[in-house]
A and B are shown apart, each in its own frame.
Chain A
Amino acid sequence: FFQYCLSGHPTLPCNVLKFKSTTIMLDCGLDMTSTLNFLPLPLVQSPRLSKLPGWVLKDGSTFLDKELKECSGHVFVDSVPEFCLPETELLDLSTVDVILISNYHCMMALPYITEYTGFTGTVYATEPTVQIGRLLMEELVNSIERVPKAQSASMWKNKEVQRLLPAPLKDAVEVSMWRKCYTMPEVNAALSKIQLVGYSQKIELFGAVQVTPLSSGYALGSSNWIIQSHYEKVSYVSGSSLLTTHPQPMDQASLKNSDVLILTGLTQIPTANPDGMVGEFCSNLAMTVRNGGNVLVPCYPSGVIYDLLECLYQYIDSAGLSNVPFYFISPVANSSLEFSQIFAEWLCHNKQTKVYLPEPPFPHAELIQTNKLKHYPSIHGDFSNDFKQPCVVFTGHPSLRFGDVVHFMELWGKSGLNTVIFTEPDFSYLDALAPYQPLAMKCVYCPIDTRLNFIQVTKLLKEVQPLHVVCPEQYTQPPPTQSHRTDLMIDCQPPPMSYRRAEVLTLPYKRRYEKIEIMPELADSLVPLEIKPGISLATVSAVLHTKDNKHVLQLPPKPPQPPAGKKRKRVSDDVPECKPLKPLLSGSIPVDQFVQTLEKHGFSDVKVEDTAKGHIVLLQEAETLIQLEEDSTHIICDNDEPLRAKLRDLVLKFLQKF
């Protein structure tokens, strides 16, 4: 049992588990923080960005000034943004049998894996995960493809050159592995390999392993996975939440009795309380709008935005914001809002109850109906006609490097009346803002990360009691910026096994049993004997059949009748065909009773001698000697088979067979 760790990002994991005879990939997250090193892709020609000076080395050489631009002391790559893929060299990914997806954020690298590695297996995910994952990919592809960039910079990636660059470019890892975004045909091909699954559905893999998704409480359709055989159980906990937001609550009970629990996807902001952040979000939003400014909320098109809209739905009227337009701009805005309403079965209890009425589970349906919330595929088209300020705009991408958000940053950045509120926790907001500096716009950081914090983890581990915990190394030490906070790490006994990118772990298992089926005919032939009170034994001699990793025991076939008319040619025909093994014996033989038995069977000249360890029984006429000891019996006789067989059977009567 091995775990290959292909991603170093704790919330965008990619691990491969070798479990029994199967190779299982757990998630394939795409690390997009790499895009922070690139210049934003403006939808409308941006004079500011195009006038940024090229970067000049200390020695004055300018050979990189086409590829690298400088903005307020930071250096950016002027090229199509690229992503950091999971490790592809650690093991042959074409051998991966299945990929299990835990939530839509953790499948963004899927096309790279399924389309470029020779992967021929199946991907398992829930329906909301697939549908919303598709929307995220569509938005990503769309926002990059709609701004064709002529330049594709690669010179800076040269190892010799990279050394000369300023941080963070100098320290960027595996830049040679960074890849451009995939295309829609690749997305479609990847998604076509997904098989939909429901919570608590047991999926058999090759008869050897069973995998089961469980509700993880973090997002629509988000799941943890149980990977188990009859005797081993691995729980894969990735992106779980115990807060009551819109998804179905986390299923904790099913995680019990795990041999190994792999723990990833904890909150990225362990010190922030999501409820408090939502409050701050609302008050900052209201304040800005009241002062006549606009609010920009960089966000993903699904997830926390549903909760934010629900909060605003309750907040708008009391805060006097009824006349402020809310815009949601994304190529998949409409789809996301529609899809959110049709996954009743994946929602929390309250929302399910609404569907039974039947009413839409999310109140954003009403916001749309009353024209308070409007959605547009992009800033072009209808939006430019309807656009009124001051307003609130929800749009992507949270990295501020591509998507419609770039336009609003350029548009609103110069005024101190406006506010950008960061809610998504995936990107450092300071890094995200760097290419827009200097900014007059207010920046508010209200990261909302509902995933487990360390207090909840401690409670969870106490509750489900796994034998071993495996987690990314980041969780085994306090965050680098808060090294005194020893409470911000996983605390359990035995201490967790940690992994880092490109590492292979051997998982600790002690397997002692396997499941086997005894066919009814064989079962009928067994004769159980009670050896001790409550314990019975039966000796089994049977034929083992193994097919598709399932073992079955059958009655041994009856010996075939020798074909009639065929003469036996050789003695060797008599040689016992397959050795029918005799059972083990146990017990001891009481000498007096044994002698009595012998006499009863016609041996009249029995003589007994005592020895150091037992007795010797002599049958004088037959020249036979039987040594009886506590744990052994030795019959020494002439080659008189009937006699020997008789004595053998008499001895066996006193012994138990195993």
Chain B
Amino acid sequence: MPESSFLCLGAGAGQDVGRSCILVSIAGKNVMLDCGMHMGYNDDRRFPDFSYITQNGRLTDFLDCVIISHFHLDHCGALPYFSEMVGYDGPIYMTHPTKAICPILLEDYRKITVDKKGEINFFTSQMIKDCMKKVVAVHLHQTVQVDEELEIKAYYAGHVLGAAMFQIKVGCESVVYTGDYNMTPDRHLGAAWIDKCRPDLLISESTYATTIRDSKRCRERDFLKKVHETVERGGKVLIPVFALGRAQELCILLETFWERMNLKAPIYFSTGLTEKANHYYKLFITWTNQKIRKTFVQRNMFEFKHIKAFDRAFADNPGPMVVFATPGMLHAGQSLQIFKKWAGNEKNMVIMPGYCVQGTVGHKILSGQRKLEMEGRQILEVKMQVEYMSFSAHADAKGIMQLIRQAEPRNVLLVHGEAKKMEFLKQKIEQEFHVSCYMPANGETTTIFTNPSIPVDISLGLLKRETALGLLPDVRKPQLMHGTLILKDNSFRLVSPEQALKELGLTEHQLRFTCRVHIQDPRKEHETVLRVYNHLKGVLKDYSVQHLPDGSITVESILIQATAHSEDQGTKVLLVSWTYQDEELGSYLTSLLKKGLPQSTP
């Protein structure tokens, strides 16, 4: 009987926060989860190595579908490269907001890379468009039938607008891939949620594997205090963000704080994306949290009064200001330009509200580096204050454990984290849930064996017969069901043996036994019979024992008749007759009767 496996090939997500790209083989179906790029590299290493797959032939032939969990570039940045340059024409699934926002971020990123840095061998605008034509948008909780056997279903993941976790199911085997998720609601998004879907495998991100973050409110207070203090002493605050996501949450936070404290220092939001981004939030408001959704008719939270568009010239303005600038890891673009301008002044502050991957300026300053080598061998000395505030909406250890509790997986696989931290979490998961936990390295394959039960069709007649018998409330005596499993054209049907015979056009062959049992009893025949009857009735309490008018005895369907021995009057011959179906009972009866009758009738 079948035994199937998942093959999880970390084509990029392994023990590394850089980029996500996972290949799952489940019951013969191949699904690629996310197609991210690495922000820390500027060469070939930024895209996943698809030769893992292409060595087996064309991507389209090999993959049944691609699923993108959310619009962050470390999850979708390699998509146009993958579909248009390597070549994939199958379906790509993502939620509606992801489908809307993803191409804009890709185009933005393409512009920075190609137009500003002048790189070649990169995807074009047209490739982004062609790639997006292959995208099929999915609703939350919609069961999408990819083909006859493969189905996928999206769950709300929090994290960013449109982020989703995906369940991938073939028959009764399933995998859940979380993408990035957040188990606590924030100022603009709700918390991730999944039902008790008991997947064979849960693939969870583990960015914050060891962190158990203090309460959201403390972090917010801290953030506001730091911004406020800097502004009060005339300093400038730079907050590198990605255009969509944390930026909106922090904007809501600052907007309400400025309103309450009646502050005058200007707040700016860089890049042309701002207004557009907020528009997406307005139009996809059903993806935000309960509170925003409820009040949006009266007041749309994404229409800001205090936050204005940034102009490059403003960076040199005297006096305090707060600027949200993209991108979030200080690796390119406007945020890096402003950082270079402000880094020399100790009155200023940069607040990193999210994780930075290795190789980025963000990562360097967060790890304490204060002298940075810039392009052209210039050394930039960082005198401004550097603060890190974990606002990026990833689940922390507590959140990951909570999700495992919700979904009840049989196995857990951790990706998108740092090896040491993951090891700690792995132990914790194995201890608490007694499930196997894996953490494959990049390019490593994890195989998980499942042993699924097999669904078959049972004829209603057989089931009803059995459930009717099963009504006897005796738990200690489990009722046995007897049926015949017909395997035909890859279908399994369980029917009664009679029906199986009939369907195959066969007739039953009756096998009957008749045993002569000699009993020493001088009494008259009918008296002997009566003694036998009483004896059997006494012994076989749970059976139907009957004395028929014609002088025979039946035990269930076994027939017992007595005749006198032709030669010996003191001996009676009992003819015990049963069919093969009553073999046990028949055999038992003959041996019981062979022992003779008890001395006195009980």
Residues of A within 8 A of B (CB): 127, 197-202, 212, 230-231, 334-335, 338-339, 341-345, 352, 355-356, 358, 360-361, 511-520, 523-524, 526, 528, 531-532, 534-544, 546, 551-553, 556-557, 571-572, 574-588, 631-639, 641, 644-645, 648, 651-652, 655-656, 658
Residues of A within 8 A of B512 (CB): 632-635
Assuming the A-B contacts A551-B463, A585-B510, A633-B509, are A513 and B580 also in contact, with contact meaning beta carbons closer than 8 angstroms in the complex?
Answer: no
Residue contact B463 to A655, C-beta cutoff 8 Å: no
Once the chains are docked, how many angstroms separate the CA of A146 from the CA of B460?
59
Residues of A within 8 A of B286 (CB): 127, 342-343, 345
Is residue B467 within 8 Å, beta carbon to beta carbon, of the partner chain?
yes
Residues of B within 8 A of A544 (CB): 463, 466-467, 470, 479, 481
Once the chains are docked, how many angstroms separate the CA of A539 from the CA of B543?
26
Residues of A within 8 A of B284 (CB): 342, 344, 355
Is residue B217 within 8 Å, beta carbon to beta carbon, of the partner chain?
no
Once the chains are docked, how many angstroms separate the CA of A199 from the CA of B582?
55
Chain B residue at minimal CB-CB distance from A584:
B497
Once the chains are docked, how many angstroms separate the CA of A581 from the CA of B556?
13
Residues of A within 8 A of B96 (CB): 344-345, 352, 355
- One of B3, B456, B508 near A516 (C-beta < 8 A): B456
Residue contact B453 to A633, C-beta cutoff 8 Å: no
A selection of 12 A-B contacts at a CB cut-off of 8 Å is: A198-B141, A200-B142, A358-B280, A513-B460, A515-B458, A520-B454, A539-B483, A540-B484, A543-B478, A572-B541, A575-B543, A633-B512
Is residue B261 within 8 Å, beta carbon to beta carbon, of the partner chain?
no
Residue contact B587 to A519, C-beta cutoff 8 Å: no
- B residues 464-520 in Cβ contact with A at 8 Å: 466-467, 470, 477-489, 492-494, 497-498, 500-501, 504, 506-518
Residues of A within 8 A of B122 (CB): none
Chain A residue at minimal CB-CB distance from B450:
A520
Residues of B within 8 A of A356 (CB): 99-100
Once the chains are docked, how many angstroms separate the CA of A578 from the CA of B518?
28
Residue contact A520 to B452, C-beta cutoff 8 Å: yes
Assuming the A-B contacts A546-B467, A635-B512, are A574 and B588 also in contact, with contact meaning beta carbons closer than 8 angstroms in the complex?
Answer: yes
Task: Tell me the smallest distance from the CB of A542 to a CB of chain B, in Å.
Answer: 6
Is residue B114 within 8 Å, beta carbon to beta carbon, of the partner chain?
no
Residue contact A584 to B590, C-beta cutoff 8 Å: no
Residue contact B484 to A585, C-beta cutoff 8 Å: no
- One of A341, A526, A655 near B1 (C-beta < 8 A): A526
Chain B residue at minimal CB-CB distance from A539:
B484
Residues of B within 8 A of A648 (CB): 511, 513, 580, 583
Residue contact A541 to B296, C-beta cutoff 8 Å: no
Once the chains are docked, how many angstroms separate the CA of A539 from the CA of B585?
21
Residue contact A641 to B587, C-beta cutoff 8 Å: yes
Once the chains are docked, how many angstroms separate the CA of A512 from the CA of B457?
9
Residue contact B493 to A513, C-beta cutoff 8 Å: yes
Residues of A within 8 A of B140 (CB): 198
Assuming the A-B contacts A516-B463, A526-B1, are A334 and B297 also in contact, with contact meaning beta carbons closer than 8 angstroms in the complex?
Answer: yes
Residue contact A202 to B487, C-beta cutoff 8 Å: no
Chain B residue at minimal CB-CB distance from A634:
B512
Once the chains are docked, how many angstroms separate the CA of A431 from the CA of B517?
94
Task: Tell me the smallest distance from the CB of B153 to a CB of chain A, in Å.
Answer: 8
Chain A residue at minimal CB-CB distance from B466:
A544
- Interface residue total, chain B, C-beta cutoff 8 A: 91
**DSSP class of B's interface residues: helix, strand, loop or mixed?**
mixed
Chain B residue at minimal CB-CB distance from A512:
B460
The CB with the most chain B CB atoms within 10 A, among A334, A512, A518, A584, is that of A584
The CB with the most chain B CB atoms within 10 A, among A334, A345, A519, A542, is that of A345
Once the chains are docked, how many angstroms separate the CA of A358 from the CA of B244?
14
Residue contact A585 to B478, C-beta cutoff 8 Å: no
Once the chains are docked, how many angstroms separate the CA of A520 from the CA of B173?
13
- One of A345, A553, A587, A639 near B590 (C-beta < 8 A): A639
Residue contact B100 to A358, C-beta cutoff 8 Å: yes
Residue contact B453 to A360, C-beta cutoff 8 Å: no
Task: Tell me the smallest distance from the CB of A557 to a CB of chain B, in Å.
Answer: 6
Once the chains are docked, how many angstroms separate the CA of A78 from the CA of B321?
67
Residue contact A355 to B100, C-beta cutoff 8 Å: yes
Is residue B375 within 8 Å, beta carbon to beta carbon, of the partner chain?
no
Contact with A along B268-294 (1 / 0, CB 8 A): 000000001001101111100000000
Residue contact B515 to A638, C-beta cutoff 8 Å: yes
Residues of A within 8 A of B581 (CB): 581-582, 584
Residue contact A633 to B510, C-beta cutoff 8 Å: yes
- B residues 283-313 in Cβ contact with A at 8 Å: 283-286, 296-297
Once the chains are docked, how many angstroms separate the CA of A631 from the CA of B507?
7
Residue contact B511 to A651, C-beta cutoff 8 Å: yes
Chain A residue at minimal CB-CB distance from B489:
A534
Once the chains are docked, how many angstroms separate the CA of A73 from the CA of B460?
64
Residues of A within 8 A of B492 (CB): 518
Once the chains are docked, how many angstroms separate the CA of A294 from the CA of B438?
73
Chain B residue at minimal CB-CB distance from A627:
B512
Residues of B within 8 A of A633 (CB): 509-512
Residues of A within 8 A of B585 (CB): 576, 579
Assuming the A-B contacts A544-B470, A637-B515, are A585 and B580 also in contact, with contact meaning beta carbons closer than 8 angstroms in the complex?
Answer: yes
- One of A335, A557, A632, A651 near B478 (C-beta < 8 A): A557
Is residue B447 within 8 Å, beta carbon to beta carbon, of the partner chain?
no
Once the chains are docked, how many angstroms separate the CA of A515 from the CA of B53?
37
Residue contact B458 to A516, C-beta cutoff 8 Å: yes
- One of B478, B584, B590 near A576 (C-beta < 8 A): B584
Is residue B420 within 8 Å, beta carbon to beta carbon, of the partner chain?
no
Task: Tell me the smallest distance from the CB of B485 to a CB of chain A, in Å.
Answer: 4
Task: Tell me the smallest distance from the CB of A201 to a CB of chain B, in Å.
Answer: 4
Chain B residue at minimal CB-CB distance from A341:
B283
Assuming the A-B contacts A345-B137, A538-B487, are A580 and B513 also in contact, with contact meaning beta carbons closer than 8 angstroms in the complex?
Answer: no
Is residue B401 within 8 Å, beta carbon to beta carbon, of the partner chain?
no
Once the chains are docked, how many angstroms separate the CA of A370 from the CA of B582?
90
Once the chains are docked, how many angstroms separate the CA of A655 from the CA of B511?
10
Residue contact A338 to B511, C-beta cutoff 8 Å: no
Chain B residue at minimal CB-CB distance from A560:
B476
Is residue B594 within 8 Å, beta carbon to beta carbon, of the partner chain?
yes
Is residue B213 within 8 Å, beta carbon to beta carbon, of the partner chain?
no
Contact with A along B334-353 (1 / 0, CB 8 A): 00000000000000000000
Is residue B455 within 8 Å, beta carbon to beta carbon, of the partner chain?
yes
Residue contact A586 to B514, C-beta cutoff 8 Å: no
Residue contact A199 to B510, C-beta cutoff 8 Å: no
Task: Tell me the smallest distance from the CB of A591 to a CB of chain B, in Å.
Answer: 14
- One of A339, A535, A635 near B488 (C-beta < 8 A): A535
Residues of A within 8 A of B494 (CB): 516, 518, 540, 553
Chain A residue at minimal CB-CB distance from B580:
A582
Residue contact A513 to B540, C-beta cutoff 8 Å: no
Residue contact A586 to B487, C-beta cutoff 8 Å: no
Residues of B within 8 A of A585 (CB): 508-511, 580
Residues of A within 8 A of B451 (CB): 520
Residue contact B482 to A541, C-beta cutoff 8 Å: yes
Q: Given A344-B283, A523-B1, A587-B506, 13 other A-B contacts at CB below 8 A?
A: A200-B143, A335-B297, A513-B458, A514-B459, A516-B494, A526-B485, A538-B487, A540-B483, A543-B478, A556-B478, A586-B507, A636-B515, A655-B509
Is residue B542 within 8 Å, beta carbon to beta carbon, of the partner chain?
yes
Residue contact B458 to A644, C-beta cutoff 8 Å: no
Is residue B591 within 8 Å, beta carbon to beta carbon, of the partner chain?
yes
Once the chains are docked, how many angstroms separate the CA of A557 from the CA of B476?
11
Once the chains are docked, how many angstroms separate the CA of A545 from the CA of B182?
39
Chain A residue at minimal CB-CB distance from B195:
A204
Once the chains are docked, how many angstroms separate the CA of A209 from the CA of B65?
29
- One of B497, B504, B542, B594 near A535 (C-beta < 8 A): B504
Contact with A along B576-599 (1 / 0, CB 8 A): 000011111101101111100000
- One of B1, B485, B501 near A584 (C-beta < 8 A): B501
Residue contact B139 to A582, C-beta cutoff 8 Å: no
Once the chains are docked, how many angstroms separate the CA of A322 from the CA of B506?
84
Task: Tell me the smallest distance from the CB of A254 to a CB of chain B, in Å.
Answer: 9
Residue contact A632 to B511, C-beta cutoff 8 Å: yes
Residues of A within 8 A of B265 (CB): none
Residue contact A575 to B506, C-beta cutoff 8 Å: no
Residue contact A541 to B481, C-beta cutoff 8 Å: yes
